[in-house]
Chain A
Amino acid sequence: MIETRGLSKKYQDRLVVDDVSVKISKGGLTSIIGPNGAGKSTLLSMISRLTSMSAGSAEIDGLDVTRTPGPELAKRLSILRQHNESTLRLTVRDLVAFGRFPHSAGRLTDQDQQHIDEAIHYLALDEYQHRHLDELSGGQRQRAYVAMVMCQDTDYVLLDEPLNNIDMHHAVGMMQLLRRAADEKGKTIVVVLHDINFASCYSDHIIAMCAGKLAYQGTSEQIIRSEVLSDIYQIPMQVHELAGQRICVYFR
């Protein structure tokens, strides 16, 4: 379980995340939604110790993230942020292999190679595995980074806007893959999403944030409702049930 208590982040005088206490239970896919500047990414990066916290605490399976040694935490929790640009000329396989670092400290065993093969296959990157990252399209590169995180083989996988800059085809592929990772491998997936309909169709739980505060949390059915969403985004939103999926309409 991921649990935060009174988590806050202050930049100068501005509170970006304000006293957020939330529990994300083990298993399933949880989405974090909310308008720009609501503090979603900051919350995620504090939970994953990428950003220091101004107040409060975060725990992963009872381990305080600020006090647990880095290598120990890296075996339980992985995080992928939005901007992953490397100046290195790495092949996809090289990058994915880095995911084994917490387990083998850079000395790859046969078992590690198996994990790498599996992750590459899982993300359908087999034919690209010996290509360099700078020769790939944005979507393929994003998949390579997700493969690295999968290869890390942690119980908790946190992704910050994994659908950014990829087209519908690959966005659907990515969400299906995350869903499969949750269902088949029992991973706990937490994603920051901007597309409310992806959140509606793929999440078990949704956490909604507004102006740094936790606004709502609950199951997908509890959050994807017109009155809740209208309040979060401050525009009229209608929720329709189409082909068994709850779809939000808000374009006009």
Chain B
Amino acid sequence: MGLNPRGKLLLSLTTLLALLSVLGFMTLNVQSEWTFIVQYRGSRLLGMLLVAVTMGLATVVFQTITHNRILTPSLMGFDVLYVLVHALALLLWGTEFGASWPLELRFVFEVAVMVAIALLLFRWLFSDSVRGLHMLILLGMVGGLLFHELADLSLRVFDPSEFSIAQGSRLANFNRINLQLLWVGLAGVVLCGAVLFRLRRQLNVLSLGRDVAINLGVPYSKTVTLLMLVICVLVSISTALVGPMLFFGLLAANLAYWLTGSHQHRWTLPASVLAGVVCLVGGQVLFEHLLNTSLPLAMVIELCGGVLFIALLLRGVKQ
């Protein structure tokens, strides 16, 4: 079962656009040594690509296992949960025991804690009892706000100077990517990507719902737990690199559904990544080099995603 001609055309165009964006980002307005450019722009590019991959994949997979196209890990507060764990972990890093840990190891530890908490929450939210979509959004919003405030509070108590930095980076910022975590992030993304590639056919079956998936022989709770773990790791990587983004995943995933017009993950997963790359890298090229504006890209993307969210909600209400 391939893609229809419209999907093929749109997907090829998106691929082309994504490649052009990457090329433009690396080559436009070059005024200094190439080695410096490659290193400076290359690391930022890698950061943005990682964010595009993580948010796109995490959102599509999350929407598949929760059977809707509105909820995203960010809307359910997963990224703020990571921020909270990060804030609390500062306590540990302040002690003698923790201070010797390298940054990468700290990150891995924080992700592990976050995964454990998120899996427990997920068990509770999506257990046997069925909750309505709007109830879930509400819970996610409230939970997100709670984590947010708790993170603020703990930062303020434990580390006032860190708090002021964290305050400044409340919104994702692509000019201040946490470059120290690039390589561990890349490793995580490759690992998660490999898992999702292996499970792409199971994902198609999972989108039919729990009962049908079990009927067709997919080991449901094992697979969903593994996928949730992958989602948590992906969201943590993205949040650690640039900060929380509420609506970017929603935008990338829904663009992917629209572009491919397909339910098959071998198309929607790569399409979400490509759409994300066009939004992030293409947007950055557009703002930085073509429009010459200092408007923060993240804010504009969030605005677009937010409008899409409201549109999807309204459409859901109509149906």
A residues apposed to B, CB below 8 Å = 45, 48-50, 69-75, 78-81, 84-90, 94-95, 97-99, 101-102, 105-108, 148-149, 152
Given the known inter-chain contacts A87-B68, A90-B263, please indicate yes or no for A98 contacting B214, CB distance below 8 A: no
**Nearest CB in chain B: distance from A147 CB, A:** 13
A70–B205 alpha-carbon span in the complex (Å): 13
**Nearest CB in chain A: distance from B185 CB, A:** 30
Residue from B68, B209, B216 within 8 A of A102 (CB atoms) = B216
A102–B214 alpha-carbon span in the complex (Å): 10
A80–B201 alpha-carbon span in the complex (Å): 21
A148–B210 alpha-carbon span in the complex (Å): 15
Known contacts A71-B217, A75-B217, A88-B263; can you find 14 more A-B pairs with CB under 8 A? A48-B215, A49-B214, A50-B210, A69-B219, A70-B220, A74-B216, A78-B215, A79-B211, A81-B211, A85-B209, A86-B207, A101-B216, A106-B204, A149-B215
Given the known inter-chain contacts A86-B209, A88-B207, please indicate yes or no for A73 contacting B217, CB distance below 8 A: yes
A72–B205 alpha-carbon span in the complex (Å): 16
Residue from A87, A95, A105 within 8 A of B201 (CB atoms) = A105
| Contact in complex: B217, A102 (CB < 8 Å) | yes
A78–B216 alpha-carbon span in the complex (Å): 8
B residues apposed to A, CB below 8 Å = 1, 67-69, 201-202, 204-205, 207-212, 214-220, 261, 263
**Nearest CB in chain A: distance from B306 CB, A:** 22
Residue from B67, B212, B261 within 8 A of A98 (CB atoms) = B212
Task: Determine the chain B residues whose CB is within 8 A of the CB of A70 once the complex forms.
Answer: 214, 217-220
Task: Determine the chain B residues whose CB is within 8 A of the CB of A101 once the complex forms.
Answer: 201, 205, 216-218
| Contact in complex: B215, A80 (CB < 8 Å) | yes
| Contact in complex: A94, B216 (CB < 8 Å) | no
Task: Determine the chain B residues whose CB is within 8 A of the CB of A79 once the complex forms.
Answer: 211, 215
Given the known inter-chain contacts A70-B218, A79-B215, please indicate yes or no for A98 contacting B209, CB distance below 8 A: no
Residue from A78, A94, A148 within 8 A of B263 (CB atoms) = A94
A102–B213 alpha-carbon span in the complex (Å): 10
A81–B130 alpha-carbon span in the complex (Å): 16
Given the known inter-chain contacts A50-B214, A105-B201, please indicate yes or no for A98 contacting B219, CB distance below 8 A: no
| Contact in complex: A87, B67 (CB < 8 Å) | yes
**Nearest CB in chain B: distance from A157 CB, A:** 11
| Contact in complex: A84, B216 (CB < 8 Å) | no
| Contact in complex: B215, A74 (CB < 8 Å) | yes
| Residue in chain B with minimal CB distance to A88 | B263
| Contact in complex: B209, A89 (CB < 8 Å) | no
| Residue in chain A with minimal CB distance to B220 | A70
**Nearest CB in chain B: distance from A90 CB, A:** 6
| Residue in chain A with minimal CB distance to B215 | A79
Q: Give 6 nearest A-B pairs by CB, closest first.
A: A74-B217, A106-B201, A71-B217, A70-B217, A101-B216, A102-B217
**Nearest CB in chain A: distance from B181 CB, A:** 35
Task: Determine the chain B residues whose CB is within 8 A of the CB of A97 once the complex forms.
Answer: 1
Task: Determine the chain B residues whose CB is within 8 A of the CB of A94 once the complex forms.
Answer: 1, 263
Task: Determine the chain A residues whose CB is within 8 A of the CB of B219 once the complex forms.
Answer: 69-70
| Among B68, B211, B261, B263: residue with most chain A CB under 10 A | B211
Task: Determine the chain A residues whose CB is within 8 A of the CB of B209 once the complex forms.
Answer: 84-86
**Nearest CB in chain B: distance from A72 CB, A:** 8
**Nearest CB in chain A: distance from B262 CB, A:** 9
A39–B306 alpha-carbon span in the complex (Å): 45
| Residue in chain A with minimal CB distance to B202 | A106
Residue from A45, A75, A88 within 8 A of B208 (CB atoms) = A88
What are 21 of the A-B contact pairs (CB < 8 Å)?
A: A45-B211, A48-B215, A50-B215, A69-B219, A70-B217, A70-B218, A70-B220, A72-B217, A73-B217, A78-B215, A86-B67, A88-B207, A98-B204, A98-B205, A98-B208, A98-B216, A99-B216, A101-B201, A102-B216, A106-B205, A148-B212
**Nearest CB in chain A: distance from B76 CB, A:** 18
Task: Determine the chain B residues whose CB is within 8 A of the CB of A86 once the complex forms.
Answer: 67, 207-209
Task: Determine the chain B residues whose CB is within 8 A of the CB of A90 once the complex forms.
Answer: 263
A156–B55 alpha-carbon span in the complex (Å): 42
